[in-house]
């Protein structure tokens, strides 16, 4: 008698893929045999009774079960208004883009006419996995090893951002200031809030993952270091962190030097780099239009950000419902002490509370191909926010997007742009 687990998802892996469990039992010939599967994340529990497939085994995908259990919380357990304004590296295990899910599998069949779970007392197959809000596309084939894509092991590995070296194309500045051949450059205003999502598993689930600190070194325009600060990370099984690495966060946490020009964020374990560094360069303030800053969940399970510097527009969609009241005091009139009458200010056609939706349209400046690919992840993100200069986050949804991609390729010269129409998630009170 045996119950065996033949295939299962990796223990620390993106949620957006097929998450298949395959199990076998030597008891499939029993009357009314079923595999009994319990899926539990501590908040939600679902139990399924599944017949073996024609090959006599269980093949069960838990993704449809758990996909809506993922929470993309913004509350900051470090005490700040939201995680975009965080000043500490809090570790998260069951929310904030990650979930800890336990799957137990039993065998069961009819015993004396009653369906009985685990009649022989062999116990359950039991697996706990961490699923974060990333995606594996089908061109990677079934169940790629997440360690190849996410484990921080060297300076050519990426943290959980879709930024690449080509997004802002700052390779000349990175070379000029000797910030490292694999470093990714980022342009940011001093008032920009934002986080960089980092896997902080201790290697128990994400094989090989190593991190114990994030070092931030500020430089002046001559490239001389002027301040060094460190976030210490205690790597813990099944966790990730949203590291507050954008300028406004650094300023609130450690203080930005008055003459800072750029700073380098290095992800390290025992003093050695385990991921590509991020170099943040100070961007001159925009003086023509109000900047609209968006943050969104990206394809790798973290948060990304972009400043829209072209003219933005606000408009309101208003739906009205009206009814017509009769003029006059029909209910009060008695013909003597209270004669029937009405006044010229009595309203006939009456407005109910209107339903108002606020819309914001934002447009990019000319984009290169890498920036276009980066912003495509915004177009299909399920969680988008407008972030103001105080770090306050307002939820919006992408109502419409327009891509202008002239052919042939030559994107900068041809003027490639993207326009997004954002619907504010909360009703505008009229």
DSSP element (H, E) containing 61: strand 57-61
Helix H or strand E segment including 358: strand 355-363
Q: Rounded distance, CA 94 to CA 74, Å?
A: 13
DSSP conformation class of 428: B
16 and 37 fall within a common domain: yes
Q: Are residues 191 and 312 in the same domain?
A: no
**Cβ atoms 292, 308 nearer than 8 A:** yes
Query: Does a structural domain hold residue 85?
Result: no
Residue 238 domain flag: yes
Domain match, 280 and 306 both: no
Q: Are residues 112 and 161 in the same domain?
A: no
The verdict on 112 and 196 lying in the same domain is no
Degrees to nearest 5, angle at CA 262 with 258 and 267: 120
Task: Give the start-end residues of each E strand in 118-212.
Answer: 125-135, 184-188, 196-199
Residue 78 domain-assigned (yes or no)? no
134: tokens are 């990333």
Kindly state whether residues 321 and 260 are assigned to the same domain.
no
Q: Are 21 and 103 in contact (CB under 8 A)?
A: yes
Last residue of a domain, one of 88, 117, 140: 140
> Helix (H, G, I), strand (E, B), or coil: what is residue 237?
coil
Residue 252 DSSP class: H
Query: What's the chain's Rg over C-alpha atoms?
Result: 28
Question: What is the C-alpha separation between 32 and 14, in angstroms, rounded?
Answer: 35
Structural domain range at position 188: 145-285
Query: How far, in Å, CA of 134 to CA of 301, rounded?
Result: 4
pLDDT tens for the 430 residues of the chain, in order:
589 999 999 999 999 999 999 999 999 999 999 999 999 999 999 999 999 999 999 999 999 999 999 998 898 888 889 999 999 999 999 989 999 999 999 999 999 999 999 988 889 999 999 999 999 999 999 999 999 999 999 999 999 999 999 999 999 999 999 999 999 999 999 999 999 999 999 999 999 999 999 999 999 999 999 999 999 999 999 999 999 999 999 999 999 999 999 999 999 999 999 999 999 999 988 777 888 999 999 999 999 999 998 888 888 778 888 888 888 888 888 888 888 888 888 888 888 777 777 888 888 888 888 898 899 899 889 999 999 989 999 998 888 777 666 555 544 444 567 777 777 777 666 6
92 in a structural domain: no
Instruction: Look at the alpha carbons of 337, 342, 348, 353 in this order and tell me if their dihedral is positive or negative.
Output: negative
Q: How many residues does the chain have?
A: 430
In a domain, 387, yes or no: yes
Whether 84 maps to a domain, the answer reads no
**Same domain flag for 275 and 292:** no
Domain count, the chain: 3
- Tokens matching residue 68: 């809506």
Of 285, 305, 326, the residue at which a domain comes to its end is 285
Which residues make Cβ contacts (< 8 Å) with residue 316, sequence separation at least 6? 356, 357, 358, 359, 428
Q: Say if residue 38 is in the same domain as residue 20.
A: yes
- Give domain status of residue 104, yes or no: yes
Looking at the structure, tell me whether residues 205 and 281 fall in a common domain. yes
CATH code of the domain covering residue 377: 2.40.30
Centre a 10 Å sphere on the Cβ of residue 423 and count the other Cβ atoms it contains.
Answer: 15
Closest C-alpha among 101, 126, 98, 95 to residue 44:
101
If asked whether residues 275 and 154 sit together in one domain, one would say yes
Distance CA 359, CA 381 (A): 18
Of 285, 318, 349, the one marking the end of a domain is 285
Residue 198 maps to which CATH number?
2.60.40
Q: Are residues 150 and 126 in the same domain?
A: no
């Amino acid at each position: 008698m045996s119950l065996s687990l033949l295939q299962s998802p990796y223990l620390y892996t993106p949620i957006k893929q097929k998450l298949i469990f395959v199990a076998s039992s030597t008891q499939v010939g029993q009357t009314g045999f079923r595999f009994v599967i319990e899926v539990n994340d501590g908040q939600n529990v679902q139990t399924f009774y599944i017949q073996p497939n024609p090959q006599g085994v269980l093949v069960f995908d838990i993704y449809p079960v758990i996909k809506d259990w993922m929470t993309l919380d913004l509350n900051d357990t470090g005490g700040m208004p939201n995680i975009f304004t965080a000043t500490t590296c809090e570790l998260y295990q069951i929310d904030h883009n990650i979930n800890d899910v336990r799957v137990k599998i039993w065998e069961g069949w009819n015993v004396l006419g009653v369906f009985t779970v685990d009649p022989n007392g062999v116990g359950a197959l039991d697996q706990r996995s961490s699923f974060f809000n990333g995606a594996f596309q089908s061109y990677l084939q079934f169940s790629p090893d997440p360690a190849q894509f996410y484990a921080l092991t060297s300076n050519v590995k990426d943290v959980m951002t879709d930024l690449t070296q080509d997004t802002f194309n700052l390779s000349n500045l990175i070379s000029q200031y000797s910030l490292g051949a694999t470093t990714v450059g980022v342009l940011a205003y001093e008032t920009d809030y934002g986080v960089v999502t980092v896997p902080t598993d201790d290697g128990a689930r994400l094989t090989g993952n190593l991190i114990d600190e994030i070092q931030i070194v500020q430089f002046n325009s001559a490239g001389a270091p002027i301040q060094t600060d460190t976030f210490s990370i205690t790597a813990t099984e099944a966790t990730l962190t949203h590291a507050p690495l954008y300028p406004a966060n650094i300023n609130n946490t450690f203080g930005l030097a008055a003459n800072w020009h750029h700073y380098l964020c290095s992800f390290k374990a025992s003093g050695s780099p385990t991921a590509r560094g991020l170099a943040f360069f100070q961007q001159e303030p925009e003086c023509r239009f109000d900047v609209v800053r968006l943050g969104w969940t990206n394809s790798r399970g973290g948060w990304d950000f972009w400043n829209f510097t072209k003219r933005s527009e606000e408009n309101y969609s208003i739906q009205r419902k009206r009814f017509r009241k009769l003029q006059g005091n029909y209910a009060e009139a008695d013909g003597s002490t209270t004669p029937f009458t009405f006044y010229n200010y009595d309203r006939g056609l009456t407005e109910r509370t209107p339903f108002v939706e606020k819309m914001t349209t934002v447009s990019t400046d000319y984009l290169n191909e890498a920036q276009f690919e980066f912003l495509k992840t915004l177009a299909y993100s399920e969680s988008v926010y407008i972030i103001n200069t105080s770090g306050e986050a307002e939820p919006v949804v992408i109502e419409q997007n327009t891509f202008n991609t002239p052919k042939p390729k030559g994107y900068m010269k041809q003027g490639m742009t993207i326009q997004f129409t954002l619907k504010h998630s909360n009703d505008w009170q009229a």
